[in-house]
């Protein structure tokens, strides 16, 4: 009887791709481990900072003992001096999905970087324009000389929608959007919308774990305080000593750039911590805005499950058994 159940379950799970996302500090990690163990899954991290070695505290990276034997992909795969972007993420993630399917297991993408998730779910094509080293160098020089805000204003002129979606401090994405427009004459926001309109190649289930805003903000405050207690300042100091530059991709992560400002004497530690908390709250708000725009999302509001992980897990399993059309906003 048990053997038959698992045979039927495996057939039902074929070509499934599960997304478990949500704003920062929502509690995705613990639930993802329980889910992976319950459905014979493996986890692909959709986090732009957890790919880097030596960046454990500021990225809130899952610890080895927390993994409970569940294999994780795209964690600790790069040195912090190396570049990482959405094209590389998509390539690594698709390779990981194929490997997980080969094992007869179910891939679960876990993390809060919505565009990374979208790139895999809809197999977004990033090949339409080639990199222009000269143009990129020119735009980078503009950002250095006139500031990120000035560069963001250039993007507002050519692609207001993209400017609304990309934060001014995310200079690399701002440059990429301007570069795309100048090379193709098309707005990158329109290109992404076209790609997003594609049907997913997977039988996908897009779960968004969230909580009341005041609870999320409280969790963010506690998390940042804990990062400082655990040694975030020493972690950033070590990265700087390793040769990580202030403008490197790795150092653009929340918590890292603010602590560098402190180490360079530009702010006090208290000011840096306050900025990290404020910007993390703003980031969580932008994440929720992104997820609300996504289609076929199944919301899991923690308070409606009395903050009981087992109840949330049972709900997810029930949706997977019945099919996503039976999912609801709960």
> For the chain, what are the domain ranges?
2-124+198-326, 133-195
Q: Is the pLDDT of residue 12 over 70?
A: no
Residue 175 predicted with pLDDT over 90 = no
Predicted local confidence at residue 11, as pLDDT: 52
What is the rounded radius of gyration, in angstroms, for the C-alpha atoms of the chain?
20
Q: Give the pLDDT of residue 143.
A: 81
In the structure, what pLDDT confidence band is assigned to residue 125 with cuts at 50, 70 and 90? confident
SS3 label, residue 108: strand
Torsion of CA 226, 279, 72, 209, to 10 degrees: 100
pLDDT at 138 over 70: yes
Distance set, CA 308 to CA 4, 146, 241, 291, 303 (Å) = 30, 50, 43, 23, 9
To the question of domain 133-195 being in CATH 1.10.20.140, the answer is yes
Residue 261 has pLDDT above 90, yes or no: yes
How confident is the model at residue 166, as a pLDDT? 86
Instruction: Give me the residues paired with residue 41 across strands.
Output: 106
Nearest to 220 by CA among 108, 85, 112: 112
Residue 3 — pLDDT band, cuts 50, 70, 90? Answer: low
Find tokens 């795309």 and name the residue.
180
pLDDT of residue 38: 96
Q: Which two tokens stand for residue 137?
A: 């160098």
Reply yes or no on whether the pLDDT at 199 is more than 80: no
Q: CA–CA distance from 33 to each of 23, 109, 135, 177, 211 (Å)?
A: 17, 12, 44, 36, 19
Average pLDDT over residues 255-281: 96
pTM for this model (two decimals): 0.79
pLDDT of residue 8: 56
pLDDT at 268 over 70: yes
Long-range contacts of the stretch 292-295 (C-beta < 8 A, 24+): 294/114, 294/118, 294/206, 294/208
pLDDT for res 327: 47
Asked if residue 127 has pLDDT above 60, the reply is yes
In the prediction, which pLDDT does 329 show? Answer: 45
293 vs 217 pLDDT, higher one: 217
Residue length of the chain: 330
**How far is C-alpha 307 from the geometric centre of its chain's CA atoms?**
23
What's the confidence (pLDDT) of residue 305? Answer: 97
Percent of the chain with pLDDT over 90: 63
Torsion of CA 13, 203, 117, 208, to 10 degrees: -80
Higher pLDDT, 271 or 296: 271
* Separation CA 173–CA 179 (nearest Å): 10
For 27-86, write each residue's pLDDT tens digit: 999 999 999 999 999 999 999 999 999 999 999 999 999 999 999 999 999 999 998 989
Query: Stretch 270-294: mean pLDDT, rounded?
Result: 95
Q: Which residue has the higher pLDDT, 14 or 191?
A: 191
Write the class of the CATH domain 2-124+198-326: alpha beta
The pLDDT assigned to 173 comes to 82
In angstroms, the CA 211 to CA 25 distance is 9
Is pLDDT larger for residue 48 or for residue 129? 48
Collapsing DSSP states into helix, strand and coil, what is residue 106?
strand
Mean pLDDT in the chain?
88
CA pseudo-torsion sign 93, 310, 69, 1: negative
């Amino acid at each position: 009887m048990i053997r038959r159940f698992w045979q039927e379950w495996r057939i039902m799970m074929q070509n499934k791709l599960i997304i478990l996302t949500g704003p920062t500090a929502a509690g995705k990690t613990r639930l993802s481990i329980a889910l992976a163990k319950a459905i014979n899954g493996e986890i692909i991290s959709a986090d732009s900072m957890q790919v880097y070695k030596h960046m454990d505290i500021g990225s809130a990276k899952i610890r080895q003992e927390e993994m409970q034997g569940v294999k994780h992909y795209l964690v600790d795969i790069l040195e912090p001096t190396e570049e990482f972007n959405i094209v590389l993420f998509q390539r690594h993630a698709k390779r990981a999905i194929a490997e997980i399917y080969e094992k007869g297991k179910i891939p679960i993408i876990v993390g809060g970087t919505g565009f990374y998730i979208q790139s895999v779910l809809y197999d977004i094509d990033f090949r339409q324009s080639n990199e222009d080293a000269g143009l990129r160098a020119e735009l980078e020089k503009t950002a250095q000389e006139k500031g990120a805000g000035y560069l963001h204003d250039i993007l507002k002129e050519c692609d207001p929608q993209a400017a609304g979606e990309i934060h001014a401090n995310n200079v690399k994405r701002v440059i990429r959007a301007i570069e795309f427009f100048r090379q193709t004459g098309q707005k990158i926001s329109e290109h992404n919308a076209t790609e997003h309109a594609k049907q997913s190649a997977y039988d996908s289930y897009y779960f968004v774990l969230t909580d009341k805003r005041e609870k999320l903000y409280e969790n963010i405050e506690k998390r940042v305080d804990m990062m400082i207690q655990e040694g975030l300042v020493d972690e950033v100091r070590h990265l700087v000593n390793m040769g990580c530059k202030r403008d490197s991709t790795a150092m653009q992560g929340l918590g890292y750039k603010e602590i560098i400002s402190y180490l360079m004497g530009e702010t006090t530690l208290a000011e840096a911590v306050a900025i990290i908390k404020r910007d993390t709250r703003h980031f969580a708000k932008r994440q929720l805005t992104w997820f609300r725009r996504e289609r076929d999302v199944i919301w899991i509001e923690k308070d409606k499950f009395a903050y009981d992980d087992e109840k949330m897990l049972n709900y997810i399993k029930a949706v997977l058994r019945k099919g996503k059309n039976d999912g609801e906003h709960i």
